[in-house]
Structure 1
Amino acid sequence: MSRLTHSEVHMVHRIGWLRAAVLGANDGLVSTASLVVGVATAGSDHKAILIAGLAGLVAGAMSMAAGEYVSVSSQSDAEQADLARERAELADDPAGELDELTEIYVARGLDNSLARQVATQLTARDALAAHARDELGISETVETNPVQAALVSALTFAAGAVVPIAVAFFTPAEQANLVVAGTTLLGLAVLGALGASAGGAGVARGAARVVFWGAIAMAATAAIGALFGVST
């Protein structure tokens, strides 16, 4: 492949949707499984366990979507405000902004003359883009998208939540807590490994950290279920 047609794909290109996807699936699996385990440990019947799981799926997916949308929208608003301020500064004091961009490149290791040349050429091409990227740290690669983050979070939460609900559906109520906990830990290990692999991190470490926190969450809800159980 020639250098003219070669296109590199780096992990940072995935960060916008990867973070929301991993968070959503992990939260859906852990929170719903913990809810099911807690209700099952309390001695609830099969119907109550499934209703609790389905309620957790719907509420959690909506909560994740709303939370991601608000959070990412706030970040996007901040970015747009910074861009508007930078646009006004470029209009009011273009020479000063050129000096500022030059100083940024000097601080990164270029000598003064080369830094000035680079700043001048980038300013001539697209001054706002140059300042957004090199002064503010805002680029198209990491630009926030509230709707995308909300949809990805809701869908991946639901996908993660389906696992413990499906397991509980096919498992007798008296065994649901142990079976759901075991399959959830396995699912978390797979999810952690996939997330780490997609992000370019260590697979074993990624799996271990989500399994650990998932086990803690389910142990806590199981303890509550046992403490306030309706039957023995």
Structure 2
Amino acid sequence: MGWLRAAVLGANDGIVSTASLVLGVAAAHGSAQSVLIAGIAGLVAGSMSMAAGEYVSVHSQADSERAELERERHELQTDVEAEHKELAAIYASRGLDPVLARQVADQLMAHDALDAHARDELGITEAFRARPLQAAAASALSFAVGSALPLLMVALTPASMLLPLVFATSLVFLAVLGALAAWAGGAPMGVGTLRITFWGALAMAITAGVGMLFGVSG
């Protein structure tokens, strides 16, 4: 889930940030070369920024998980009976008969006490463990892929049609991404698509408007 979240956010930011950037420069009457250079610079800077931010964020989560596991390990060494009662109480609160809850706690703690407490008390599982490097790489790569889509349109589109075509195709890219993200998360695809395209369109329109303002002022 960590890498999926980072990948979706990275691709979304890549499309919106880079499309907005090139639209702003183009609206300010920048040359085709300056628009493309600005977009490439945005791709590189954005990828590095996303990777660094994701790494720091997820690493903080990993540090918290390690501290919680260390604290749990210490409690298991110093007061195993209390930890056993705590685990049995968790299972009983989920609907198990108290006697069965104690039996389940007995067997799980005999197998791997720390794993049982990490999963059922702390909510830490192997599948959902924080992985900073994986999240950073997924975020940087997905941002670069997202950024490459509007940049490709900049490279292939005549200067006279750059503004409308980059805007329209970026909205299409965002709609597809929103639908995929909603589908992967089991959410309604229409809502996810509408939400991401609306905010993407707003960001691009505002940036293009700022570019036009500075272009006129210049």
The two structures have a TM-score, normalised by structure 1, of 0.91
Which residue pairs with 1:5 in the alignment? none
Deviations 1:41-75 (A, max 9, x none): 11111011001100000000000111111110000
Q: How many Å separate the matches in 2 of 1:85 and 1:47?
A: 57
Look up the SS of the partner of 2:215 in the other structure.
Answer: coil
Which residue pairs with 1:51 in the alignment? 37
Q: How many Å separate the matches in 2 of 1:135 and 1:198?
A: 27
Look up the SS of the partner of 1:86 in the other structure.
Answer: helix
Q: How many Å separate the matches in 2 of 1:144 and 1:207?
A: 28
Q: How many Å separate the matches in 2 of 1:102 and 1:199?
A: 32
Please tell me the residue identity of whatever aligns with 2:162.
A
Which residue pairs with 2:127 in the alignment? 141
Q: How many Å separate the matches in 1 of 2:186 and 2:174?
A: 18
Runs (4 or more) in structure 1 with deviation over 6 Å come to: none
Deviations 1:76-126 (A, max 9, x none): 000000000000000000011101111111111112111111111111000
Which residue pairs with 1:40 in the alignment? 26
Q: How many Å separate the matches in 2 of 1:141 and 1:179?
A: 41
The answer to whether the Cα contact below 8 Å between 1:69 and 1:149 also exists between their aligned partners in 2 is yes
Q: CA RMSD in A?
A: 1.2
Q: How many Å separate the matches in 2 of 1:65 and 1:136?
A: 27
Mapping for residues 95-134 of structure 1, pairs under 5 Å: 95-134=81-120
Aligned pairs, number: 218
Runs of 5+ consecutive residues of structure 1 not aligned to the other structure = 1-14
Deviations 1:113-142 (A, max 9, x none): 111111111110000001001110101121
Please tell me the residue identity of whatever aligns with 1:181.
F
Q: How many Å separate the matches in 2 of 1:173 and 1:63?
A: 29
1:29 aligns with 2:8: no
Mapping for residues 126-205 of structure 1, pairs under 5 Å: 126-205=112-191
The two structures have a TM-score, normalised by structure 2, of 0.97
Please tell me the residue identity of whatever aligns with 1:204.
G
Please tell me the residue identity of whatever aligns with 2:127.
T
Please tell me the residue identity of whatever aligns with 2:184.
A
Which residue pairs with 1:90 in the alignment? 76
| Deviation at residue 230 of structure 1 after TM alignment | 5.7
Match of 2:211 among 202, 215, 225: 225
Match of 1:62 among 31, 48, 52: 48
Look up the SS of the partner of 1:228 in the other structure.
Answer: helix
Runs of 5+ consecutive residues of structure 2 not aligned to the other structure = none
Determine which structure has the larger helix proportion and give its number.
Answer: 2
Q: How many Å separate the matches in 2 of 1:137 and 1:223?
A: 46
Please tell me the residue identity of whatever aligns with 1:115.
A
The answer to whether the Cα contact below 8 Å between 1:37 and 1:178 also exists between their aligned partners in 2 is no
Give the % identical residues: 61
| Deviation at residue 221 of structure 1 after TM alignment | 0.2
